[in-house]
Amino acid sequence: MQQRKYLITGATGKTGAHTVRHLLQDGHAVRAFVHREDERSEALRKQGAEIVVGELLEHDDVIRAMDGVTGAYLCYPVRPGFIQATAYFADAARRAGVEVVVEMSQISAREDSKSHAARDHWIAERVVDWSGVPAVHIRPTFFSEWMVFPWVRDQIVQEGKITLPYGDGRHAPIAGEDQARLIAAVLANPSEHIGKTYPLFGPVELNQQQIADEIGEVLGRKITYSPSTLEQYRTHLEQYQLPEFMIQHFLAIAIDYQNGIFSGKDGVIREITGQAPQTVGEFIKAHRHVFEQ
């Protein structure tokens, strides 16, 4: 097998760190793009990754990081600036002549989204397409990691309940590790995937009470779903000092969730990687320590 080099942004994050690991294990070289040197970047270095420190909103940083790579993964947090970062990334990818860019979008990305972040993701997809760079877009539903975020996890641990304004909506939570396996597979063998947009889901679609039941079964305690209003949700999120851009996104996609935008189950990851994504129960078992008081 010919060794290739891949640029992974968000390399210490929920999908990036696992993507780095998969590519290295398959014998490829990896350039991990990080914001700063810390214990997480050092762990990647020890695995064999080349560490590059930079910012996606600095054009020169991105050009430098992209030089000499075969393919690249673009992942950007829920914050302003994604369209600008995507333009820089696409330009750098064109200069480097990469075989593929895998771009992390989201299931709620669309032209008429009420979420500023989701609409930015939709436009970012278009920017990559307009650039002419060979690309694959992935659109995950809610990550399984959502359950361990403090504003969800704390109420599970302290009150034995999930409190979200999601009504009777359903989704199949998808773990970052399972997405990373797909990302690595597409980067390494892009030809049949170029130009496609893949929605990513876990294996089983559940409503919030069913998710609570899965969590409760693993933890050995009763967990209930207690729906909240959007106003109550905003107040709750503000207690965690989240930025307004993120809060606006969470409120808008809560309505999307109620309307079925996040629903669906896996028809991609098992087919492409040969391994089914984790169930909620399997994810909670692997992260049980997070829920220990």
pLDDT in tens, 251-274: 999 999 999 999 999 999 999 999
pLDDT of residue 79: 97
Pairwise CA distance, residues 212 & 56, whole Å: 37
Ordered by start, the domain boundaries in the chain are 5-141+173-201+263-277
pLDDT of residue 1: 47
> pLDDT tens-digit profile of 24-77?
999 999 999 999 999 999 999 999 999 999 999 999 999 999 999 999 999 999
Pairwise CA distance, residues 96 & 142, whole Å: 33
Residue 144 is given by DSSP the state: G
- Residue 292 clears pLDDT 80, i.e. is over it: yes
- As given in the structure block, the two tokens for residue 42 are 């050092």
> pLDDT tens-digit profile of 210-265?
999 999 999 999 999 999 999 999 999 999 999 999 999 999 999 999 999 999 99
Let me know: does 204 contact 279? Beta carbons within 8 Å.
Answer: yes
Pairwise CA distance, residues 140 & 148, whole Å: 17
Pairwise CA distance, residues 257 & 220, whole Å: 28
> pLDDT tens-digit profile of 93-107?
999 999 999 999 999
Tally the C-alpha atoms within 13 A of residue 208's C-alpha that lie toward its C-beta: 23
Structure pTM? 0.96
Among 177, 201, 124, residue whose Cα is nearest residue 13: 177
Q: Options 3.40.50.720, 3.40.50.300, 3.30.450.40, 1.10.600.10; which CATH number does 5-141+173-201+263-277 get?
A: 3.40.50.720
